[in-house]
């Protein structure tokens, strides 16, 4: 028998208080989340600086999907709180010996309803809790391969600032403009090799550009005259192209991210580079500015081209569809790269005690939410 709604592992919307009115239906909640996501993306197009803010949040919550990253950011902003750092469901926090504070309201994300492939969806299958959303996209399993998404539901989660209890590792912001983390270059090279590409440092690559990706030759060239941080940044940019802009990228061609609109492809690649480096504590805001500031212009150009092109040859798409696709593609590429490079910031998922001691830079918060040990990173406000 399916569990009652009130006993769902992550369904506690407000802790310690009785709701004043009827609980919204899943359909109503989904409609509200969808509208919230659309509003955020529309604002990101009209105000390009919002795209930068989305990437900053993505660098912290990289284990989550692009849509859920945007939803979490928007909800925390709407409450006047800082961006989320570690996010988990009610029961997941209990497993880390932390409890959600009385009166705290849940954050809401989108989670898939799944059913076994080649079978019709049924209410019992839909009622089963899905895996923690922070694990989605982190690698397939045989069980996951046997299931398919048949719908969506709203899932409640809470940020660490809404909890209290056992001290837990919280990543300290690491932003060092002057140097690159030890080993990042080699881990990026490893990712390239996993994709079947070799990496060369050359003084004579195509067009004397800082970097170039040769899909036919399965080769990435990086300018040998660049300093260490520049080489790392250029390689991360080229890996964005590797992940997103190969000859088989049908989705990119549909939404204007391919060779027909190289400008948007460059924005996507630089967004990947910016986010990956930011997750590793490298701030490339100044260097990435010229790429990222024009992202909205590129979306509008693609939309206009779609509307004016031959009807039989092109599919008319809206700027909202293009923006949603760009966010999803960028965050997916970042997740695949960061799973190999393994930054210290955990990607928004709480770490076990055994994992926490493996990190050299971080803080412990607890037993009261927001409490920090002396001389550590900025205080987390639990209000």
Query: What's the pLDDT at 181?
Result: 65
Peptide bond into 367 cis (omega under 30): yes
Please enumerate in sequence order all residues whose Cβ is within 8 A of that of 94, keeping only pairs 6 or more positions apart, or say none: none
| Contact predicate 180/232, CB 8 Å | yes
Q: How far apart are CA 182 and CA 187, in angstroms?
A: 10
Choose among 67, 58, 26: nearest CA to 347: 58
pTM for the whole structure: 0.77
Examine the pLDDT at 311 and tell me if it is beyond 70: no
165-167-169-174 Cα dihedral, nearest 10 degrees:
100
Least confident among 31-35, 100-104, 129-133, 240-244 = 129-133
Element (H, E) at 114: strand 107-116
Choose among 324, 370, 380: nearest CA to 66: 324
Most confidently predicted of 99-113, 184-198, 216-230, 304-318: 184-198
**Residues paired with 108 in a beta bridge:** 156
Please enumerate in sequence order all residues whose Cβ is within 8 A of that of 166, keeping only pairs 6 or more positions apart, or say none: 96, 97, 98, 366, 367
Q: How far apart are CA 310 and CA 314, in angstroms?
A: 6
pLDDT band at 203 (very low <50, low <70, confident <90, very high): confident
Kindly report, residue by residue over 144-157, the tens digit of the pLDDT.
567 777 788 888 99
Buried b (16+ CB within 10 A) or exposed e, 12-51: bbebeeeeeeeeeebeebbeebeebbeebbeebbeeeebb
Averaged pLDDT for residues 121-131:
44
Element (H, E) at 344: none
Examine the pLDDT at 359 and tell me if it is beyond 50: no
Which three-class secondary structure state does DSSP give residue 249? coil
Kindly report, residue by residue over 156-172, the tens digit of the pLDDT.
999 999 999 988 877 66
What value does the mean pLDDT of the chain take?
77
Angle 198-199-203 (CA atoms, 0-180°, nearest 5)?
135
- Where would I find the H helices in the chain? 26-46, 49-60, 66-78, 90-95, 123-127, 142-145, 184-194, 228-244, 250-254, 262-279, 285-292, 295-308, 319-341, 353-356
Say which residue, 346 or 7, is predicted with more confidence.
Answer: 346
Kindly report, residue by residue over 218-277, the tens digit of the pLDDT.
999 999 999 888 999 999 999 999 999 988 888 777 777 766 677 888 999 999 999 999
Quote the percentage of the chain above a pLDDT of 70. Answer: 71
Please enumerate in sequence order all residues whose Cβ is within 8 A of that of 323, keeping only pairs 6 or more positions apart, or say none: 41, 42, 44, 45, 299
């Amino acid at each position: 028998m399916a569990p009652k709604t009130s006993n769902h592992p992550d369904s506690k919307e407000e802790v310690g208080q009785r709701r004043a009115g009827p609980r919204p239906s899943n359909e109503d909640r989904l409609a509200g989340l969808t509208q919230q996501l659309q509003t955020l993306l529309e604002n990101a197009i009209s105000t390009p600086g919002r795209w930068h803010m989305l990437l900053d949040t993505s660098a912290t919550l990289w284990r989550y999907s692009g849509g859920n990253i945007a939803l979490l950011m928007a909800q925390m902003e709407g409450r006047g709180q800082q961006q989320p750092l570690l996010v988990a469901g009610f029961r997941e926090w209990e497993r880390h010996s932390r409890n959600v504070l009385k009166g705290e309201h849940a954050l809401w994300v989108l989670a898939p309803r799944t059913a076994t492939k080649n079978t019709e969806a049924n209410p019992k299958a839909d009622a089963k809790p899905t895996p923690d959303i922070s694990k989605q996209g982190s690698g397939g399993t045989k069980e996951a391969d046997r299931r398919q998404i048949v719908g969506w539901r709203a899932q409640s989660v809470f940020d660490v600032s809404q909890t209290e209890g056992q001290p837990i590792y919280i990543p300290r912001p690491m932003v060092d403009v002057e140097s690159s983390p030890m080993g990042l270059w080699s881990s990026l090279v490893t990712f390239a090799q996993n994709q079947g590409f070799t990496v060369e440092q050359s003084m004579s690559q195509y067009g004397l550009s800082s970097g170039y990706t040769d899909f036919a030759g399965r080769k990435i060239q990086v300018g040998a005259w660049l300093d260490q941080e520049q080489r790392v940044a250029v390689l991360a940019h080229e890996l964005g192209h590797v992940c997103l802009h190969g000859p088989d990228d049908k989705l990119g061609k549909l939404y204007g991210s391919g060779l027909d609109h190289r400008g948007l492809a460059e924005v996507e690649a630089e967004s990947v580079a910016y986010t990956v480096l930011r997750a590793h504590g490298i701030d490339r805001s100044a260097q990435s500015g010229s790429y990222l500031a024009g992202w909205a212009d590129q979306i509008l150009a693609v939309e206009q081209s779609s509307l004016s092109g031959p009807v039989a040859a092109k599919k008319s798409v809206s700027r909202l569809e293009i923006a949603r696709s760009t966010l999803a593609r960028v965050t997916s590429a970042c997740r695949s790269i960061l799973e190999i490079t393994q930054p210290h910031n955990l990607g928004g998922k709480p770490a076990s005690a055994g994992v926490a001691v493996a990190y050299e830079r971080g803080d412990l918060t607890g037993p009261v939410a927001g409490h920090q040990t002396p001389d550590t990173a900025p205080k987390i406000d639990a209000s």
